Structure 1
Amino acid sequence: MGDAPAPRRLRWLGYAVAILGILVAAYFISDIALSRVEQPSYCPRCHEVRAQYLAWKVSSHSQINCLTCHGGDNSSLRRWARRRVEARNYIIHLLGKAKYPYQKNLVPEDQVCGECHSPNREVTPSGDLIIPHRKHTTVTGTPCAACHVDVVHLRAAKRLEVAIEKAGGQQEKAFQILAQELQHLGPKDRLPLMGACMGCHNGKKAPDKCAICHKKLDIPADHKAKDWVYNHGTKARQDIHYCVYCHAVLLDVARPGETITLLQGVRGNPFCVNCHSQRPVTHGPDFKLKHKFRAQEDLEGCLVCHDAEKRDKMSLRGVVRCSDCHHTPVTHPPNYRRIHPNIVMREGAGQCFKCHDTTSCSYCHTSGRVGLP
């Protein structure tokens, strides 16, 4: 067989050149297009990150490109890995499948912050705070973002949720409200919340004593009462803001400007959870029998720790829910205490132990109140 005719070879060569040209053009077109997408001015075109853009624009980092903090190194491999994500997110946006408000938090790594900030810098906070910055960065290895995660974006997604409620669900009006609010924020609004400190200073990972972080302590008079540890719940139910003014909630529990509920103030607060996740001294061995009386008097107090039903968020691990026992309400007749021995002997105690345990039996049968049958 001889060589293919020259016209055929030329035709295939033309196809190859055309395909190569298309690929080269696609490369440069996509590179130009994605480079455009990576500019901060392009961000507000997608409402998913418009709130974060508005916050960045009024921050001390407003002259720093987004990718300086969120892009990683600009090597070819890393750049195209990043752009695959950008292209995917852009398609999700075009299809209307993006979540809103945008909640994803692309936290910069320490080496990114280190390009501009020294970990050895001395910091003198205002007020009575003691924050040994160098110890946190070089000794304990605390990530920069653990304390400064919202120094630029100012909890924008949370603020937008509040603005949407104020705007009656109108997104464009909500963005206007958010932009005005961000313009009036002061330096204090950009400081880490106390909850960020308490994420580590929980008494286990780091000391939780007030004097560790504060030079001066103005302890309220009611805190000095001997029974304060047992009776502070009454004050908390009256005004939980009185408590969280010092014992601040975590960053992701309450939205800026939102009224704190009792449940948020306790369960979102490591200062409270450290105690509230343990069995209270009032819950003695016979508490399962007596708890109905406590619930009748103060059900709200019970629900600070316990949930009536299964809850997706804000639940304390290992704490019994009401529905664990009361999923099938049982109504006993008035004379049940007198006749229940016969029922147990006839049907067994399996049904009883769905709610009761042996302490329920021993409360009466081993205390001299009632003899064994």
Structure 2
Amino acid sequence: MKKIRIPFLSKLRWPHIDLDLSKPAHRWKFLLGLAALGVVGVALAIGGVQGYAYSESTEFCGTVCHSMYPQLERHDQSAHANVECTTCHVGPGAAAFVQSKIDGTRQLVATVFDNYARPIKSPVKNLRPAREICEGCHTPTSFTDNIIKVNRHYDDDAENTPYENTLILKMGGLNVLTGERRGIHWHVASEVDYIALDDQRQVMAWVGVKQPDGSLKEYFSRDLLNMAQTNFVEKARASGELRTLDCIDCHNRTAHYIPYPEQVVDQAMLHNLISPDLPFIHKNASDLLNEKYASSDEAFAAIDKLAEKYASSPKDEVEQAVKTLKDIYTITNFPDMNLDWKSNPNNERHNPTLGCFRCHDGNHVSRDAKGNEEVISVKCNLCHTVPITGRGSELVVEAPVIVGSVPATHADFSWTVTHQYASSDELDSCADCHGRSFCSNQACHNLKHPADMAFTHPQSYAESGGQVCYTCHQNVTCARCHPGGIIEKP
């Protein structure tokens, strides 16, 4: 057989190896070489394992590979602080691991060339289904008990008057013994699909709920239904735009939530990090944190000016307030990444963003062949009791629990909005169940707008990252207090 010659290899001067294991010197050299090779192999194996473990760590994800330090900061402040990033964002399975490394390579290139999005986007469609991730630790069958929730707030008056909202969260879920589905976690104990019109999933065009008999009840946005625009569902299903509702559709900021200014100032005052004795401090502190700053230095300079307003107040309290506000700003605002509490709406609640009211707005309608309509309920007490509020010296310490049937008027979900027009005779009996302070309920009635809001809100909404007017102009937020409307829809 003819030998194959490779020109450049034939010109190489190969070393002559003379190995005779019968000679002691050769044996020692051979064994020494094997030992050295073994040591190097073990070192590489250990290094590889350690390198792999480090590449899967929260520190690597948040600081080394790409600019995720805001997410890391919020992760460290969350209830998931001890959960590694990859546990949720990658999860188990070889396919997910390979896909994550491919994505990581893309992100590394974006970091090198500094062309990644600011803020970094977190589309739900790129996440693995929550039933594969979240339900590894949380299962809907475990959410059965109610939770008493007490929220402390402070007014914007000179005295920073404290008030508390006490309510019962109806956690619910699936009762495996009875098969009953109820409460907040009815949503994940049932099969619900939806179609959203925007990337942040704030505008719902369609909701489908699987019924016990296997049929599908469809709820369309009333505007689309009135325009006979209902033929998009199958197209959305085919293109992958139809999504099955899971944990992340409500708990979308669970490990990276940025509290809104009033909320974080409330907490700081509750723990006396900001003294409630400083006049108007709740309003002034919230206003400072609500401002948009080009940099942290600019924000700190504005916060430093707070001391001028309180020149006659105790110096130590003022200095503590200034320091606390700077600390709060540092962990809630990231101007170089264009990220703050407004960047990503938190769907876990319905204030200050839509949250629950994306679907429970009274304007998602199921219409049968006879023209009969059924809307997705907006009954507040499906998920929680109506908050009971105490103010100042009358903070709630005992909240009544109502047992028995509710009045006939309450059976209509619209009572939540229309009760303000009830007659005095109808209102006389309210205190029998709700208590005398109920109608001064700050949780429902503390909505405030600037005097020129009707003229300025489009610009402020656009500056906050809003994409479409329809987010608000679907008779959700405004119609809660203004059922007659203020101005015509755009």
Pick the TM interval, shorter chain: 0.3 to 0.5
| Structure holding more strand per residue | 2
TM-score scaled by length of structure 1: 0.48
Q: Which has the higher contact order (CA 8 A, sep 6+)?
A: 2
| Structure holding more helix per residue | 1
